[in-house]
Every structure is written in structure tokens, then in C-alpha cells.
Amino acid sequence: MYPASRLILAFVLICLSNINAMAAESRLKLLMSSMKAGPEDVICFQCHSDLVDRVNYIHYPTGIGACSYCHIARPDHLEGENPPGSVTINRTAENCYVCHDRKDEGPIKHSAMNGAESCLRCHNAHSSYTRYLLNSDSVLGLCTGCHNIRISGKSQHGPVFKGQTCILCHTPHSGTEKKLLRKPSKQLCLSCHNKDIKATMNDSRIIPNIQQKLTMSHIHPGAEGNCLDCHTPHTSANKRLLVAPWSTNIYNLYSETNNPYAICFTCHDSSMLRPSDFVTATQFRDDPKKINLHWFHVVDAVGNEDKTRGRACKICHDPHGAPQTHDINSVWFMNTSPITLEYQAFSSGGQCTKSCHTLKTYQRL
Ligand code: HEC
Ligand code: HEC
Ligand code: HEC
Ligand code: HEC
Ligand code: HEC
Ligand code: HEC
Ligand code: HEC
Ligand code: HEC
Ligand code: HEC
Ligand code: HEC
């Protein structure tokens, strides 16, 4: 007996291949409405009901018992025997593409998509406990089965480990961006960091809206490029997912060998903090008093005996953008209390007031 559903199926597929111009997903819908299990398919479940028992997600053609899209069974198989060749298994990606959109056409292709039977590395053709018919109990488990993503370190990025995880940022198949990113990286970062976010991973602060900082009147030139110049996307040995060390404290002991602001000096020259270099290394200096004001605030701790009270860069500057000239904040936070800072630049110096001291002026000659 030749399976009748095979003939119906062949007919439907021939009809559909004539309307190839039709969008693949509506093709899928049409296929769903015409897809039926033939009589010989129905009896498959008599012996193979375990394929759809106790699972959360069932692949549509398997669920309706239309096994013959992927298998052809000979009559002797239907009698419960399984001699070699009594039933075929089509494992190819090409067979999946009979119904689905191609997944391999993006210029950047995941290596896991190589090979004729690639889909089965990640998908089960019948059913799964996991959404998208994955071969694993989570996306994270699937991806980290092949990729060694560090999970330790001083900071961990929430979306890597929570919710949809890896596929929030990467496509698993192919795409147009390097590293299979769903969008160019800066756009990707700002698609989430366009609002305040309550942190849960490393502490419970409110993470400010970074996109809004990038619309302020003074954007840090270092943040006009790529976020990845300073940040890593998954985890980091440094605070705040930074590529180099950074202390989040507002007071620190500064030393060139154990630099609490090393991230800044991946681009800037740390001689700006040397007292002897006050004439050339920085604009933040007072020539009449022969004093390098960066050294004075950050290293010397404003004349304080206790050098661990050196001021952090972030009291005065924001690494992304700020409302005052030279990327100066208008407010900073002592624990959670806001302290305002009023700065004004002149062609030969500047002045600052409100926060730490009464009005002080510096002058370059
Ligand atoms: C979309 C294609 C597809 C459909 C539809 C499908 N199968 Fe499969 N089946 C496969 C593939 C591919 C394998 C091989 C899996 C592997 O090697 O990892 C397979 C393997 C099997 C196996 C071997 C054991 C196992 O679980 O791997 C059985 C039994 C089986 N299918 C029965 C069925 C029955 C019965 C139906 C209909 C109710 C069905 N299949 C529907 C693609 C399909
Ligand atoms: C009367 C019972 C019975 C029926 C009906 C039956 N099978 Fe099977 N099938 C078996 C047995 C037994 C095996 C071998 C053990 C196993 O893999 O479960 C098997 C194995 C298979 C395999 C794996 C073959 C391999 O080489 O690994 C596939 C695929 C399969 N069946 C598909 C089907 C499809 C499709 C139908 C319906 C068209 C069907 N079976 C109907 C009993 C049956
Ligand atoms: C006979 C047509 C057909 C074939 C062949 C087929 N599929 Fe499907 N697949 C469907 C239909 C229909 C759906 C349900 C789509 C829906 O609900 O919108 C589906 C759903 C899926 C889904 C889940 C989509 C989701 O959003 O959760 C995945 C993953 C999938 N198929 C992978 C595969 C893979 C891998 C193969 C090859 C091994 C394959 N399919 C072969 C018709 C097919
Ligand atoms: C590296 C693992 C991996 C491989 C290989 C893979 N997939 Fe997927 N696939 C996924 C994951 C994860 C998702 C869910 C995320 C998404 O939708 O982008 C998915 C989603 C899907 C979906 C549903 C959503 C959509 O995009 O339509 C279909 C259909 C699908 N895959 C088919 C295939 C086919 C066909 C192949 C082989 C050509 C394949 N996949 C190879 C991991 C993989
Ligand atoms: C079956 C193994 C396998 C699985 C599962 C797998 N990958 Fe891959 N992936 C590879 C291989 C092999 C490469 C190429 C070698 C490399 O760059 O490490 C690769 C490369 C990548 C790349 C780098 C691409 C580039 O252009 O440099 C990304 C990103 C990636 N995979 C993400 C994922 C995500 C996300 C998942 C889960 C949805 C996943 N992979 C699941 C094997 C796998
Ligand atoms: C928040 C977005 C985001 C999430 C979530 C994410 N990644 Fe990435 N991933 C990236 C970015 C951005 C890059 C590119 C880094 C670069 O170019 O320096 C990347 C790069 C990669 C690479 C290429 C090798 C490398 O380290 O540069 C692999 C492999 C990878 N990711 C796998 C994964 C896996 C597996 C997961 C889930 C555990 C995951 N990613 C989750 C954004 C993300
Ligand atoms: C020049 C280096 C640099 C660049 C470029 C950069 N950042 Fe940052 N980012 C930092 C530093 C330093 C911190 C720590 C600030 C602090 O402790 O107050 C930080 C902190 C963050 C935080 C946490 C903020 C908080 O207070 O909790 C987020 C989110 C962030 N950056 C996102 C981004 C995004 C998105 C981009 C790209 C648009 C980007 N960063 C570009 C240096 C940079
Ligand atoms: C899918 C949304 C999403 C994307 C895309 C995303 N982030 Fe995040 N990011 C978050 C969330 C949510 C948190 C807070 C996680 C938590 O603590 O629970 C966070 C936290 C951070 C932090 C603070 C980490 C710390 O130390 O607490 C930094 C820095 C950061 N993201 C930078 C980036 C950069 C750079 C990119 C682009 C490569 C990016 N983010 C892309 C959602 C996202
Ligand atoms: C990826 C490179 C890069 C990193 C890292 C970096 N910057 Fe910059 N920064 C620049 C560039 C480029 C300029 C503009 C040229 C210049 O002044 O050197 C600049 C200028 C500045 C300015 C002067 C802005 C003005 O309008 O006068 C300040 C203040 C500043 N950076 C602070 C910092 C701080 C604080 C850090 C560490 C959190 C840091 N930068 C890290 C690239 C970077
Ligand atoms: C007490 C506030 C304050 C602190 C703390 C501070 N800065 Fe500045 N910084 C300024 C002021 C004010 C200017 C503008 C000087 C001018 O052009 O008149 C400036 C200018 C700069 C410039 C532009 C080049 C230059 O030297 O004039 C860079 C780069 C810079 N700061 C980086 C840093 C880094 C890195 C740290 C931490 C190690 C830091 N600043 C700490 C107030 C501060």
C-alpha cells in the first residue's frame, strides 16, 4: 500500500512551489491549513505516542501526526518491525526549508549552521520542553553547551543570564552584524539603556538612562564612538562591565601602579595627575599658585593628611555626557544625597562653587 497522504502532500508542495513569490510565513500558514495526516500516519502514534507525551511544545506537523513530511515507512514497519531501511529519516536542513524561511542567507552565518543536518544541533523535530523546540532546557544551556561564557567576575550583565538571555542580543542563525548581533552594537546597547533600570545583579541601585546622557550639551568625546571601547558585553573582572579597572567609590587612594581609574588612562595620559607637570599636563591648574588641580583633588586629596580621601573623577565628570562645559556634572551623589556643582569655564581658567567649597577660581597664564 503506497501512503496516500504522501500523494496529497506532494500535490500541495507542487502547488505551493508555484507560488514561491509568496512570503514564506504566509506560505507556512497556508500549508498548515492544508496539512493533514494520512491514514497510515495516524497509526504511527499507536507505537510512537512518547514523541508528544508530557512535553510543552509540539512541532506542528508532528502534533497532527503528519510524519510523512520527514519519514516514509514501508508496510512491514507498520506491523511493528524495524528492519534496516523499513523507515526513512530526512534530517536535512533543506527539508526544514520546504516549510520554513531560509535561515542561512545573512552574510554573517553562525558556524553551528554549517553542514547538511545543522538544524538538529539545536532543534528537536518532534517536541520539546523548551520554547522554539530547543534540544536543551534553556537558551542559556543550549549556547553555553558550545560556548564558554565566563560567569564569574566583579560584574555580570543582567540580560546575559536572565529572561531570553543570549538571543536578546544574538541571532542563532545568520544576520547582517558582526558577532551575529541583532543590531549594530551601540544601537543594541541603547535599545535597553534608553531608560532608568533597577539593578538586580551586582547591587540594587538605579542605573541611569544612558541615552539621555548622550543628548546632554556636553558629551564625553570618548563616548561618541562605541560603548565597547570601554565596556564588555557579558561579564568583566572589573566593576560596571568595564574593560579596565574602575572604583565606584567617591574617595580613593590614587597610585599609578594600582590605579582606581585605569579605564580613563586607556586613552588619557596619567601625567595629568603629576604635581610637577602642572604647566603642560592639564588645563585644570592654577598658574599663579603653581598647582595642578587634578593632582590636588585626586592625588593629594585637597591637602588632606588622609590620602585615601582623593576625589574620584566621577564626582566632577560623567564618562558619557554631562550638562556643563568640559563634561562636568551639575550634581553628584554622596551615598544617595544629591550635591549640586556649579561650574563656569573662562578662556584662561574657570570657577566652581556650591558643592565642596565656596566660589574658587583658577587661572592659566
Ligand atoms: C519535521 C520532520 C519530522 C517530522 C514531522 C517527524 N519526524 Fe520523526 N524524526 C525526524 C528527524 C530529523 C529524526 C532524527 C532525529 C535525530 O537523529 O536526532 C526523527 C527521528 C524519529 C524517530 C527515532 C527516535 C527519535 O525520537 O529520534 C522516531 C521513532 C520518529 N522520528 C517517529 C516519528 C513519528 C511517529 C512522527 C509523526 C508523529 C514523526 N517522527 C514526525 C523528523 C521528523
Ligand atoms: C506497530 C508499531 C509501530 C508502528 C505502527 C510504527 N512504528 Fe516506527 N518503530 C517501531 C519500532 C518497534 C521501532 C524501533 C524501536 C524504536 O525506535 O522505537 C520503530 C522505529 C521507528 C523509527 C526510527 C528508525 C531508525 O532507524 O532509528 C522511525 C523514524 C519510525 N519508527 C517512524 C514511524 C512512522 C513515521 C510510523 C507511521 C508511518 C511508524 N513508525 C509506525 C514500531 C512502530
Ligand atoms: C511540513 C512543514 C514543516 C517542516 C518540514 C518543518 N516544519 Fe517547523 N513548523 C511548521 C509549522 C506549521 C510550525 C508552526 C508555525 C506556527 O505555529 O506559526 C512549525 C514550527 C517550528 C518551530 C517553532 C517556531 C516557534 O515560533 O516556536 C521551529 C523551531 C521549527 N518549526 C523548526 C523546524 C525544523 C528544525 C525543521 C526541520 C527539522 C522543521 N521545522 C521542519 C512546519 C514545518
Ligand atoms: C545554534 C543553534 C541553532 C541552530 C543551529 C538552528 N537554530 Fe533555529 N533557533 C534557535 C534558537 C535559539 C531560536 C529562538 C530564537 C530566535 O527565534 O531567533 C530558533 C528559532 C527558530 C525558528 C522559529 C523562529 C523563526 O526565526 O522563524 C525556526 C523556524 C528555526 N529556528 C528553524 C531552524 C532551522 C530550519 C535550522 C537549520 C537550518 C535552525 N533553526 C538551526 C537555535 C538554532
Ligand atoms: C553546536 C555548537 C554550537 C552551539 C549550540 C552554539 N554555537 Fe555559537 N558558535 C559555534 C562555533 C563552532 C562558532 C565559531 C567558532 C567561534 O567563533 O567560537 C560559533 C560562533 C558564535 C559567535 C561568534 C560569531 C562571530 O562572528 O565571531 C556567536 C556570537 C555565537 N556563536 C553565539 C551563539 C549563541 C547565542 C548560541 C545559542 C543560541 C550559540 N552560539 C550556540 C558553535 C555553537
Ligand atoms: C546584552 C547583549 C548580549 C547578550 C545578552 C549576550 N551577548 Fe554575546 N556578545 C555581545 C556583544 C556586543 C558581542 C561583541 C563583543 C565584541 O565585538 O567585542 C558579543 C560577542 C559574543 C561572542 C563572540 C566571542 C566574543 O566573546 O567576543 C560569543 C561566542 C557570544 N557573544 C556568545 C554569547 C552567549 C552564549 C550568550 C548567552 C550566554 C551571549 N553571548 C549573550 C552581546 C551580548
Ligand atoms: C569612555 C568610556 C566609556 C564609554 C565609551 C561608555 N561608558 Fe558606560 N561607563 C563608563 C564608566 C567609567 C562607568 C562607571 C560610572 C560610574 O561609576 O559612575 C560606566 C557606567 C555605565 C553604566 C552603569 C551606570 C551606573 O551608574 O550604574 C551603563 C548602563 C553604561 N555605562 C552603559 C554604556 C553605554 C550604553 C555606552 C555606549 C552608548 C557606554 N556606556 C559607553 C565608561 C564608558
Ligand atoms: C536586552 C536589554 C539590554 C541590552 C541590549 C543591554 N543591556 Fe546593559 N543592562 C541591562 C539590564 C536589565 C541591566 C541591569 C541588570 C541587573 O543588574 O539586573 C544592565 C546593566 C548594565 C550595566 C551595569 C552593570 C553593573 O555593573 O551593574 C552596564 C555597564 C551595561 N548594562 C552596559 C551595556 C552595554 C555596553 C550594552 C551593549 C553592549 C548593553 N548594556 C546592552 C539590559 C541591557
Ligand atoms: C576610548 C577613549 C577614552 C576613554 C577610555 C576616556 N576618554 Fe576622555 N576623552 C577621550 C577623547 C578622544 C577626548 C577628546 C580629546 C582629549 O581631550 O583628549 C576626551 C576628553 C575628555 C575630557 C575633556 C572634555 C572637554 O570637553 O574638555 C574629559 C573631562 C574626559 N575625557 C574625561 C574622561 C574620564 C573621567 C575618563 C574615565 C572615566 C575618560 N575620559 C576615559 C577619549 C576617552
Ligand atoms: C574636582 C573636579 C575634578 C576631578 C575630581 C577631576 N577632574 Fe578632570 N577636569 C576638571 C575640570 C574643571 C576640567 C577643565 C579644565 C579646564 O579646561 O579649565 C577638567 C578637565 C579634564 C580633562 C581635559 C584635559 C585636561 O586635563 O584639562 C580630562 C581628560 C580630565 N579632566 C580627566 C579627568 C580624570 C581622568 C579624572 C580622574 C582621575 C578627573 N579628570 C578628575 C575637574 C575635575
Centroid of ligand 5 to alpha carbon of 244 (angstroms): 26
pLDDT recorded at residue 24? 57
pLDDT recorded at residue 34? 79
- Under 8 Å between Cβ of 36 and 67: no
Q: What is the DSSP letter of 71?
A: -
| Residue whose CA lies nearest to ligand 9 atom number 42 | 222
pLDDT in tens, 12-23: 555 454 444 455
Centroid of ligand 2 to alpha carbon of 241 (angstroms): 52
Kindly report the pTM of this predicted structure.
0.94
In the chain, which stretches have pLDDT less than 70?
1-26, 277-278
190: its cell numbers: 541603547
How far apart (Å, rounded) are the C-alpha atoms in residues 112 and 122? 9
What values do phi and psi take at 190, rounded to 5? -75, -10
pLDDT recorded at residue 168? 98
| Residue whose CA lies nearest to ligand 7 atom number 35 | 189
What 3-state class would DSSP assign to 352? strand
Q: How many CA atoms lie within 13 A of 72 on its CB side?
A: 11
| Residue whose CA lies nearest to ligand 10 atom number 39 | 313
How far apart (Å, rounded) are the C-alpha atoms in residues 318 and 312? 11
Closest ligand to the CA of 122: 4
Q: Is the Cβ atom of 61 under 6 angstroms away from ligand 1?
A: yes
Q: Which atom of ligand 10 is nearest to the CA of 272?
A: 26
Centroid of ligand 6 to alpha carbon of 328 (angstroms): 33
pLDDT recorded at residue 23? 58
pLDDT recorded at residue 7? 47
| Residue whose CA lies nearest to ligand 8 atom number 37 | 189
What sign does the dihedral 248-254-258-264 (CA atoms) show?
positive
**Average model confidence (pLDDT) for the chain?**
90
How far apart (Å, rounded) are the C-alpha atoms in residues 166 and 163? 9
Angle between helices 24-34 and 4-18 (to 10 degrees): 150
How far apart (Å, rounded) are the C-alpha atoms in residues 59 and 73? 20
